[in-house]
Structure 1
Amino acid sequence: MKSNFFQSVRNGLSCAAILAASTALAEPQHGIAMYGDPALPPEFVSLPYANVNAPTGGKIVTGEVGSFDSLNPHIRKGRVPWQLRFLAYESLMGRSWDEPFTLYGLLAETVETDSTNLWVEFKLRPEARFSDGSPVTAEDVIWSYETLGTEGHPRYAGTWSKIEKSEITGEGKIRFTFKEPDRELALIMGMRPILKKAQWDGATFEDSGLDTIPISSAPYVIEDFEAGRFVSLKRNPDYWGRDVPFRRGTNNIDELRMEFYGDATAMFEAFKAGELNTLRETSTAKWAQQYDFPRVRNGEVIKSEIPHQRPTGMDGFVMNTRRDIFKDWRVREAMLQAFNYEFISEKLNGKDGPPRIASYFHNSVLGMEEGPATGKVAALLEPFKDQLLPGTIEGYALPESNGSARNRSGIREATRLLEEAGWVVKDGVLTGTDGQPFVFDILLKQGSAEHQSIVSIYKEHLERLGIFPTITVIDSAQYRARTDAYDFDMTHFIRGLSLSPGNEQMAYWGSDGVTEEGSRNLMGMNSPAAEAMIQTMLTSSSQEDYRAAVKALDRILTAGRYAVPLWYSNVSMLAHDANLKFSDKLPVYGDWIGFQPDVWWSE
């Protein structure tokens, strides 16, 4: 789909004229949405899921498995507590987790962009201050973006490479001009951490770790730490932005403390003993069976289940289509048929286990609908119908078994598909036309006990087809090196997806990742149709068109049969001390970044 910008150029309108026209039409706003207008008006009091009357005080103590050797989350070196990027730093705009992709002014008082999506301009709040009391300036903003984009963590480089020019256009005003139109980029540019330029005069930014903690403007500052053991952040009593609408009713807790443990068992025991006062659980079986300890029974600890409407993403076992054995979709479908999900889930999760992931954007308004594609989704897929796999347009659903251990119907269908693809059983071994057996390896990371249990059962099912896979378990460093080089046949992977998918989708599914090492495209998919849907998402002028493109992408991914999906939870499971509270009004994202601890309080 061509953008209005390219259509105008094609029709002979000069870029200068376009820029002049868009500048005249642009107006500063209190917020910005990917599509349409922000839900909250300019005079809004607070985020809808924040409690403006919440008391302040208390502390939240969380646990993490692992260690750390750096407190600068913005550089390439070191292991950093992941929460610091969100707790200890601020950006020009703040995200509302009650809307798919909407930002409201934080350090920036207003945001302004043009109708052709070629630039964005922010105006700083004059009262914005760093934790040392010095003002946040336009120079700090420019320096932060350039330094992060050129010397910082790789996650910042891709965005910075799309910027043609950054400039100060007035008192407290910063404008970023893009190399090409990009609707999402205007929002992304509002979400980068702002650091103090003067702190780094004569210092080397990329080598900082524990010795130099970046100064920021956030409500919390790092007060104490012991490398590898704990980090303590305290609420800044002189925080500049307590009356900014985006901040009202948030950051109510006085101390945020992170304790680090060698393994999950030790962390769970610490929570049971009261050393931690909040813990997220991801296993529904453990939630049902192991959270009946004394502190739960006497009411000191509450089990909260927080629903959400965000996409499931994908959690499962991905097949590497760079390998010859997985190039044929019929073979991949056979792998799905052989995976006796109902039996495995009941064995590991109990009879009333969690639901299964049905597609990549399942559980959300962006997920593909049952049955044949219709309307705009069908129209988007139509030009690619000759190259799309069966089920993409007609409709595709994962195979289901009757829950018995034998899974006769699944094994029978898998056998048929494998024979159709040229594989037959000889002397009990599935064999190709070249006489070679069907063999592959399932690569797993150390510490993945649940995944090892799953593949052990799966292996038994595959053996009924004459397939005898090996299972290799290696440490994290080896695992990262091998998956970066795509040196695996099948492995576990998780791909989190949001209600506002955008540029990152090309990194997940784009053809560049087929050969370029280190990409997120583990399955090695090469689909012009998928890339076309992503481009349509990025250039759509309405939410209706955008959603149609995502639904079409979901169909392409799911019918591609690249992964064997596992289960998901449509609620977050948080056990916490009874004195820790949150509002009855929950954001659409549920328990997500910016929920705990941002809008919690202690009574």
Structure 2
Amino acid sequence: MRSLFFARKLRSAAYILTLSVLPVSLGAEPSHGIAMYGDPALPHDFVSLPYTNPDAPKGGKISFGEVGGFDSLNPHIRKGSVPWQLRSLAYESLMGRSYGEPFSVYGLLAESVETGPNREWVEFTLRAEAKFSDGSPVTTQDVIWSYETLGTIGHPRYRGFYGKIESIKATGPRSVRITFNEDNRELALIAGLRPILKKAQWDGKDFANSTLDDIPIASSPYVITDVDAGRSVTLTRNPEYWGKDVPFRRGTMNLDEIKMEFYGDSAVLFEAFKAGELTMRRENNAEKWETQYSFPAVQSGDVVKSPIPHQRPTGMTGFVMNTRKAPFDDWRVRDALLHAFNFEFINDTLTGGRQPRISSYFSNSVLGMQEGAATGKVAEFLAPYKDDLLPGTLEGYTLPVSDGSARNRKNIRTAMKLLQDAGYSVADGKMVDASGKQLSFDVLLRQGNQENQAIMDIYINALARLGIEAKISTTDDAQYTERTATYDFDMTYYRIGLSLSPGNEQYLYWGSEGVDSPGRRNWMGMNVPAAEAMIDNILGARSQEDFIAATRALDRILIAGRYFIPLYQWPYSNIAHAKELKYPETLPIYGDWLGFLPEVWWWEEG
């Protein structure tokens, strides 16, 4: 498969990560786009995003599977479990993000964007032709209502941004200005990416408690045309879509039908794909990719295996520990549990040792922490907090590595020493605290995820050798969503994707507000002033050196915090798909990320 991997190469200079910082011009004129730093890569007269096929044919369909179910179609509220794809496929925003650049946005519902000299405000002018799927125009009142509603009763992920808005008002028949209450250059870009909803649809309705009966009316190229509660959602391309000639949309949203089907577990889903009931599947297990994708449809060429490379950070995937609760509030216990997790043995058992481990949150990118002690700007940023930083932050931290054997003796001894330092001892074969209570915890997992179950079975056996009692609790999607949103778990599987342009969203992930406020992404419950200071440094950076150093410093704080038991990284995505499904040869630097599948794919017979 290597020849295919390298044939689908990253060819355009626009796809090379560039973090150079250019001065912001004073008195910015209305523009077709805006970048975090400097100017957007694409000119005002660009034809299409460079990783699309502007001549892609329309037609065909795609169907893919998910494990679990759903009980809502509104991805903008905390209540309910929603097919995650609806956020990007069923709604549009004023601007659209190009995944061929670290962070640039271009006009979508808005024909132009203008900012103040220091980005203290941003003004969007709507396209006159922008319409909702029912044919009604998108108005400034829809925009203002969307921001106010999402920011006050919407999902908590929207509320942090809304708190940074001083005012939002119409400045003309088709223009809206948002003024900010803090110096934060990224806010102008974030403002353009909020979903725009139809105000009139929700008149007299309880938005925060919407149900499956509330089919969204949005401006997207797709409309929801069929819902089988908990089992499937079908979206159909709107032949009257208003924006087919907008440059940002040209060559995208080509498929006539997108269907999401839900299954009880991953094994049933895989069998459905092999039987042709689904037309694509992502495979996250390298061993399965090599050994279980030789079924007849692959051998005949009806199903194609496509590895998609990327240049984005690894992010973090693994088992997160909830530090709001004992025993995870003690970093020595967390460190002990990391040593007891025999990644090398698990990796060999489940993937044939084919998948490398995540080494830090921003690894696989220029933003990732470097080995050894902190130096230069990184050390300078961390110095004011040195007395409060956990061991390994300044001097360097690496994850425990075992000898690959099932016993993992050296790391188990280290774990035992760490637990003793934390006040635990062994009595009658049990690891107990000073009061004689056994160290025990639950691992919350979604129903149907067999791989996570297999990993935990191995891990629990290792913990038993230390006298630790761990149990698995499985729940359906609705319960899992509610429990994780309210941080009602000890340990659970969690995946956080990080971008090449980290910014305000980092507060959502690691900020102290997420300790008690439900619905945040700070599942570990970390409350570390140094981490928030590094986020401030990221947002305040005016040079490439400072931006990279601040991110590397944050990376050190996160990995040395021992909040996660990291699993595999995926330097590329393995996608198996029907031979008729095609994608462009030029790939975005983000690879298989939002805006790629199914957005830039098309169906082509023969």
User: What's the TM-score once normalised by structure 1's chain length?
Assistant: 0.89
Instruction: Specify which of 9, 26, 29 is matched with residue 27 of structure 1.
Output: 29
In structure 1, what is the Cα distance between the partners aligned to 2:326 and 2:269? 43
In structure 2, what is the Cα distance between the partners aligned to 1:319 and 1:132? 46
The alpha carbon displacement at 1:302 in A equals 0.3
Flag the 1:429–1:233 CA change in 2: closer, same or farther, 3 A: closer
Report the counterpart of residue 382 of structure 1 in structure 2: 383
In structure 2, what is the Cα distance between the partners aligned to 1:336 and 1:595? 35
- Count, aligned residues: 579
The alpha carbon displacement at 1:355 in A equals 0.7
Flag the 1:155–1:414 CA change in 2: closer, same or farther, 3 A: closer
**Paired residues of 2:510 and 2:531 also in contact (CA < 8 A):** yes
Flag the 1:481–1:191 CA change in 2: closer, same or farther, 3 A: closer
The alpha carbon displacement at 1:575 in A equals 0.8
In structure 2, what is the Cα distance between the partners aligned to 1:108 and 1:210? 30
Report the counterpart of residue 19 of structure 2 in structure 1: none
In structure 2, what is the Cα distance between the partners aligned to 1:523 and 1:79? 21
Flag the 1:598–1:286 CA change in 2: closer, same or farther, 3 A: same
The alpha carbon displacement at 1:23 in A equals 11
Flag the 1:455–1:208 CA change in 2: closer, same or farther, 3 A: closer
> Over residues 214-247 of structure 1, what are the superposed CA-to-partner deviations in whole Å (9 max), with x where a residue is unaligned?
3222222233333334333222223222222111
In structure 2, what is the Cα distance between the partners aligned to 1:24 and 1:505? 28
Flag the 1:153–1:531 CA change in 2: closer, same or farther, 3 A: closer
The secondary structure found in structure 1 opposite 2:186 is: helix
In structure 1, what is the Cα distance between the partners aligned to 2:513 and 2:170? 35
Report the more deviating stretch, 141-150 or 31-40.
Answer: 141-150
Report the counterpart of residue 226 of structure 2 in structure 1: 224
Q: Which runs of 5+ in 1 are unaligned?
A: 1-21
The alpha carbon displacement at 1:563 in A equals 2.0
The alpha carbon displacement at 1:151 in A equals 4.0
2:483 corresponds to 1:472: no
The alpha carbon displacement at 1:278 in A equals 1.2
Instruction: Specify which of 166, 174, 177 is matched with residue 175 of structure 1.
Output: 177
The alpha carbon displacement at 1:554 in A equals 0.5
Flag the 1:422–1:95 CA change in 2: closer, same or farther, 3 A: same
The alpha carbon displacement at 1:49 in A equals 0.4
> Over residues 392-447 of structure 1, what are the superposed CA-to-partner deviations in whole Å (9 max), with x where a residue is unaligned?
12211112122122223222333343444444445544455x36355121322243
In structure 2, what is the Cα distance between the partners aligned to 1:495 and 1:409? 30
Alignment of 1:126-525 (within 5 A): 126-201=128-203, 205-206=207-208, 208-350=210-352, 352-426=353-427, 428-432=429-433, 434=434, 436=436, 439-445=439-445, 446-464=447-465, 466-476=466-476, 479=480, 483=484, 486-516=487-517, 519-525=520-526
Report the more deviating stretch, 553-562 or 453-462.
Answer: 453-462
The secondary structure found in structure 1 opposite 2:549 is: helix
Report the counterpart of residue 50 of structure 1 in structure 2: 52
Larger Rg: 1
2:592 corresponds to 1:584: no
Report the counterpart of residue 540 of structure 1 in structure 2: 541
> Over residues 190-214 of structure 1, what are the superposed CA-to-partner deviations in whole Å (9 max), with x where a residue is unaligned?
1122233344455554555444433
In structure 2, what is the Cα distance between the partners aligned to 1:411 and 1:78? 41
The secondary structure found in structure 1 opposite 2:592 is: coil
The alpha carbon displacement at 1:486 in A equals 4.6
In structure 2, what is the Cα distance between the partners aligned to 1:24 and 1:305? 44
In structure 2, what is the Cα distance between the partners aligned to 1:512 and 1:245? 39
Report the counterpart of residue 527 of structure 1 in structure 2: 528
The secondary structure found in structure 2 opposite 1:37 is: coil
Report the more deviating stretch, 183-192 or 497-506.
Answer: 497-506
Report the more deviating stretch, 525-534 or 177-186.
Answer: 177-186
> Over residues 539-581 of structure 1, what are the superposed CA-to-partner deviations in whole Å (9 max), with x where a residue is unaligned?
2223432222111000011112222211122111111111111
Report the more deviating stretch, 202-211 or 287-296.
Answer: 202-211
**Paired residues of 1:314 and 1:357 also in contact (CA < 8 A):** yes
Report the counterpart of residue 11 of structure 1 in structure 2: none
Q: Which runs of 5+ in 2 are unaligned?
A: 1-23
Report the more deviating stretch, 578-587 or 324-333.
Answer: 324-333
The alpha carbon displacement at 1:315 in A equals 1.9
> Over residues 143-194 of structure 1, what are the superposed CA-to-partner deviations in whole Å (9 max), with x where a residue is unaligned?
2222333344443333223222111112411101122222222111111222
**Paired residues of 1:444 and 1:452 also in contact (CA < 8 A):** no
Report the counterpart of residue 114 of structure 1 in structure 2: 116
The alpha carbon displacement at 1:450 in A equals 2.4
**Paired residues of 2:35 and 2:105 also in contact (CA < 8 A):** yes
Report the more deviating stretch, 570-579 or 137-146.
Answer: 137-146
In structure 2, what is the Cα distance between the partners aligned to 1:213 and 1:481? 22
**Paired residues of 2:93 and 2:195 also in contact (CA < 8 A):** yes
Flag the 1:570–1:126 CA change in 2: closer, same or farther, 3 A: same
Report the counterpart of residue 574 of structure 1 in structure 2: 575
The secondary structure found in structure 2 opposite 1:462 is: helix
Report the counterpart of residue 59 of structure 1 in structure 2: 61
